[in-house]
């Protein structure tokens, strides 16, 4: 992996991490066409790189919403409650999910099904009470929606935003809680995977990790602010169509014989 490839992947991760379009699907396509799955050494580091730049995207959330972490201790309890389901099931089923569900066909189908849901979510649950915050019970239910995102291609942000709207939050409130929930969830998941993959870090590629996180941080800030504006004005339909198109492209590439599964098992 060179610096240009690292920057491209970081830009993709920064854009897709908090949009309901699945960063997994985009990273699979990008790594394949950048040739980062051609050898075990490359695939090991590309996997670690993809995990490490999550720290940059999470830092973007902390910077944008830093006031939320100081206004009330209540938010910490709610995030903890929402975090528990994915934390428990992730610890118990992580290896099983990696072996069974880490497959491009699964990703493609999840993208398409999730896209269909986003086409209609605004009609099902489009609430206007800007003052409503998630209760403790709502936080738990959103956390259960997050468990669905353990299936690659579902999109963690997409699942939790839909969960928030299901709990009668506005689009903006649901998205903001989803972003805040990313802090403990992504840090825990990424930290665990980093411990498993850290041996592929050496003095030659540590600069790539630093640059990747800086780029992902900057792009994520732009993406979050832009996304909030889009959903408040237009809703989620465009993201639904995009997911369906992307999932269909993956299935077409597989049908044409492209081995997109290389390097993600």
The 10s digit of each residue's pLDDT in 38-92 is 544 456 677 788 888 889 999 999 999 999 888 889 999 999 999 999 989 877 8
- Cα distances from 234 to residues 8, 50, 119, 126, 262, in angstroms, run 28, 30, 12, 12, 37
What is the reported pLDDT for 165? 93
Q: Where are the domains of the chain?
A: 3-255
Most confident of 25-34, 38-47, 193-202, 227-236: 227-236
- For residue 99, the model assigns a pLDDT of 64
- Neighbour tally for 54: CB within 10 Å: 24
* Alpha-carbon dihedral 13, 95, 47, 45, rounded to 10 degrees: 160
The secondary structure of residue 198, as a DSSP letter, is G
pLDDT of residue 72: 84
Over residues 143-166, mean pLDDT: 92
Q: What is the pLDDT at residue 40?
A: 47
Q: pTM value?
A: 0.87
Cα–Cα distance measured from residue 143 to residue 79, given in angstroms and rounded to the nearest whole number: 9
Most confident of 1-5, 190-194, 207-211: 207-211
């Amino acid at each position: 992996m060179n610096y240009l490839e690292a920057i491209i992947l970081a830009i993709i991760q920064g854009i897709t991490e908090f949009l309901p379009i699945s960063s997994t699907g985009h990273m699979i396509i990008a790594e394949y066409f950048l040739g980062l799955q051609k050898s075990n050494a490359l695939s090991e580091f590309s996997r670690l790189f993809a995990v490490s730049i999550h720290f940059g995207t999470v830092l973007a959330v902390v910077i944008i919403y830093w006031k939320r972490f100081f206004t009330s201790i209540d938010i910490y309890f709610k995030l903890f409650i929402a975090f528990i389901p994915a934390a428990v099931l992730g610890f118990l089923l992580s290896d099983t999910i990696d072996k069974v569900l880490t497959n491009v066909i699964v990703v493609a189908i999840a993208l398409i099904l999730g896209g269909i849901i986003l086409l209609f979510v605004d009609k099902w649950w489009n609430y206007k009470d800007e003052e409503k915050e998630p209760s403790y019970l709502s936080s738990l239910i959103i956390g259960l929606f997050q468990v669905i995102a353990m299936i690659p291609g579902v999109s963690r942000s997409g699942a939790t935003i839909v969960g928030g709207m299901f709990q009668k939050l506005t689009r903006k409130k649901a998205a903001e809680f989803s972003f805040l929930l990313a802090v403990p969830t992504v840090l825990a998941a990424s930290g665990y995977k980093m411990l498993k993959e850290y041996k592929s870090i050496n003095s030659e590629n540590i600069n790539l990790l630093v640059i990747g996180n800086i780029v992902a941080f900057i792009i994520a800030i732009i993406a979050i602010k832009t996304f909030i504006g889009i959903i408040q004005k237009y809703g989620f339909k465009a993201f639904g169509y995009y997911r369906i198109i992307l999932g269909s492209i993956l299935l077409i590439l597989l049908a044409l014989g492209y081995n997109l599964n290389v390097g993600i098992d």
